[in-house]
Amino acid sequence: MLDQGVREEDEKNGEVPDEDEGDDDDDGWDDFCAGDEDFLYSEVELDVARAAVGLAKCSRGAMNVALASIDAAGMKAVTCDDVTIKENLLAWASAVFSAAEKIGTNVTDFGSLLYPPLEIISEGEEGECALVLALQSQHDALISFFSVVICDENDDDKEWIGFHEDLFFKIKDRRNLEFELPDATSELAKKLSLATKTRLKEALEGILKIR
């Protein structure tokens, strides 16, 4: 939808004329599948949509990082003779899985909010719109996941508590496991972490321009 052009809006109020009011849901779905202009983003929505789709791509990248990280930890555990380290490696892999699961759970609902036209509550109305809440939630899940994988020295230990309280006192981070991720996986995780923060910032800035 990002590459299909923009939706024409009423010049006076920025709204799309509702020519199909009263049509049933089947007709609306047919129009959507046929690329009806009413189902395109407006020009002002495009920046928000691009940033949000970028966040979804970060989520996909996080799944690749999770698979590579869990695989690397498992391979290390297989060749490790120390029972305690072996158990901790598997516990760390379990924590990575749990953090990634949160991303996967969120992303479906998040993606469902990206169909145009975007529903954004005007400034001054009570409560925050579902899209802003979903953007923030997905961002937080991603950053917590990358915190577990990257083990930045500046990370707060509380990042672990949110996902695996039972493992918190057993393994505080990967640095205690005599285990390093493959360079490519580590670098990808760092790049995606930075991209996640940037995409959220861009999306929220775009929403402020619409309001």
Q: What are the tens digits of pLDDT across the range 151-162?
A: 654 444 434 333
Interacting residues of 22 by C-beta distance below 8 A, sequence separation 6+: none
CA pair distance 138, 164, nearest whole angstrom: 18
Residue boundaries of the structural domains of the chain: 1-40, 44-210
| Residue in the structure block whose two tokens are 């590579």 | 68
CA pair distance 90, 71, nearest whole angstrom: 10
Q: Give 80 or 8, the one with higher predicted confidence.
A: 80
Sign of the C-alpha dihedral, residues 108, 9, 17, 38? negative
Sign of the C-alpha dihedral, residues 95, 100, 104, 107? positive
Global pTM reads 0.75
Q: Give 184 or 169, the one with higher predicted confidence.
A: 184
